Structure 1
């Protein structure tokens, strides 16, 4: 794969459409310092100096699509609360199109991280991890039925908060079979929901998630291959991409076609959100008509950039192009 081919693929990403369906959450940060221990309990007292709120979960996947020049349609649920309003505003500011179903029976999923002197002290989760109610479920599928033909690629972003359920998957897989042109379905899996993903086009687990799905620890090439084959047998998916951190990626295009893509990360500060970047880049590339191997190679470049930044970062077409020029041609090998 030449650098010229990679540059051509990067340029082709702009303007393509991807739908993201799944668990949207509000990442809330309270940042300050600690000067004393509470007299009420042996815990630090954090004096908050600033707060910030970011798109989390499926929202971060959509943010990655937009940062790479794509058009993201985010379909999720929020509560009828102020946090839901905040997520709506953040999506608009990020230029993400949305269909946010307001569910009065659940709070907006929110993760508050309290950080003192660059150290996370505690995380407070507010959530209700249950499936949608019937009225909201019907609203969701009425909407999907009206727009699904407009999207060649759909990401299911499952964070285990209840949106992706057995009832959802049964209706969703039936719906896409009625499309004029069946969209590709990509899944960032949640281990407890593995058996929901039968027949999807691409799964993108990391090694830990692959091992949990296969039933044994994944520690190197041999176990990556074994785990991949076990997941194919279990789920009958079409393709599988196992991300291995500093060891790159293993792309399975079927049980016996396995190719290794080396990592392009030059420094690693924070792996937060790297999986979101990978699936977003692959999806946008497939929407542009790019082949799966090249799509995964682009995703490896993108992930290599974001792990060199702190927090759930994103990258851009320009940054990817510059990075490609600074690195040698990727040496993809058969396993």
Structure 2
């Protein structure tokens, strides 16, 4: 795969559509310093100096697609609360098209991280893990039915908050069978929900998630292959991408074709959100009509960009072009053919 081909692929991402359905959350950061211990308990007193809020979960996936020039539609649920209003504002700032279903019976999922002297002191989660109520569930599918044919690729972004459940999957898979052209379905999996993901087009677990789904410890090339074969047998998915951090990615196009894509990270500061970047880039590339290997190669460049930044970051088209220019041509190797 030449660098010229990769540059052309990056430019062709712009303007293509991807729908993201799943768990949206508000990532809230309180940042400050510590200069004393509380007299009430042996805990540090954090003096807050700044606060910031970011799109988390499925919102970060959508933000990555928009950053690359794609058109992202985010379908998710929020509560009737201040955090839900903040998420709606952040989606507008990121130029995302959204369908945010307001559920009065649940709070918006919010993760507050308290940071002192560049160290996370504690994380506070506010959430209610359960499926949508009947009325909101019907609202969701009425909306999906009206727009499903406009999207060639759909990401199910499952963070285990209950949005992606058995009832959702069964009805969703039945619905896409009736589409004029069945969309590709990509899933970033949650281990507890593995059995929901049967017959999807691409799963993107990391090595830990792949090992948990396969019931083995994944530590090297041999166990990556074994885990992948076990997941195919369990789920009958079409394709599988196991991300291996600094060791790159293993792409299974069925069980008989396995290729290894090396990592393109120049430096690693923070892996937060790298999985969101990977699935977002692949989805947008597939929407643009690329083959899966090219899509995964672009995703590896994008992941290499975001892990070199602190926090849940995104990669732009110019970031990818710069990374491609600074690195050698990717040396994709065959693990099985």
Give the TM-score normalised by structure 1.
1.00
1:331 and 2:337 are equivalent in the alignment: no
In structure 2, what is the equivalent of residue 184 of structure 1?
184
Alpha-carbon distance in structure 1 between the residues aligned to 2:313 and 2:322: 17
SS in 2 for 1:280: helix
In structure 1, what is the equivalent of residue 106 of structure 2?
106
Q: CA deviation at 1:128?
A: 0.1
Listed one character per residue, the Cα deviations across residues 224-256 of structure 1 (whole Å, up to 9, x for unaligned) are: 000000000000000000000000000000011
Q: CA deviation at 1:326?
A: 1.1
Structure 1 segment 165-204 matched on structure 2, within 5 A = 165-204=165-204
Listed one character per residue, the Cα deviations across residues 255-305 of structure 1 (whole Å, up to 9, x for unaligned) are: 110000000001100000000000000000000000000000000000001
Alpha-carbon distance in structure 1 between the residues aligned to 2:247 and 2:96: 32
Alpha-carbon distance in structure 1 between the residues aligned to 2:314 and 2:93: 15
1:304 and 2:310 are equivalent in the alignment: no
SS in 1 for 2:259: strand
In structure 2, what is the equivalent of residue 226 of structure 1?
226
1:313 and 2:313 are equivalent in the alignment: yes
Alpha-carbon distance in structure 2 between the residues aligned to 1:228 and 1:297: 19
Structure 1 segment 1-335 matched on structure 2, within 5 A = 1-335=1-335
In structure 1, runs of 5+ residues without a counterpart are none
Alpha-carbon distance in structure 1 between the residues aligned to 2:269 and 2:319: 18
Q: CA deviation at 1:145?
A: 0.1
Alpha-carbon distance in structure 1 between the residues aligned to 2:117 and 2:127: 27
Q: When the two structures are aligned, how many residues end up with a matched partner?
A: 335
Alpha-carbon distance in structure 1 between the residues aligned to 2:103 and 2:117: 37
Alpha-carbon distance in structure 2 between the residues aligned to 1:240 and 1:285: 16
Alpha-carbon distance in structure 2 between the residues aligned to 1:108 and 1:7: 40
Which of structure 1's runs of 4+ aligned residues deviate more than 2 A? none
SS in 2 for 1:174: helix
Listed one character per residue, the Cα deviations across residues 161-184 of structure 1 (whole Å, up to 9, x for unaligned) are: 000000000000000000000000
Alpha-carbon distance in structure 2 between the residues aligned to 1:185 and 1:307: 26
SS in 1 for 2:74: strand
SS in 2 for 1:135: helix
CA RMSD in angstroms comes to 0.4
In structure 2, runs of 5+ residues without a counterpart are none
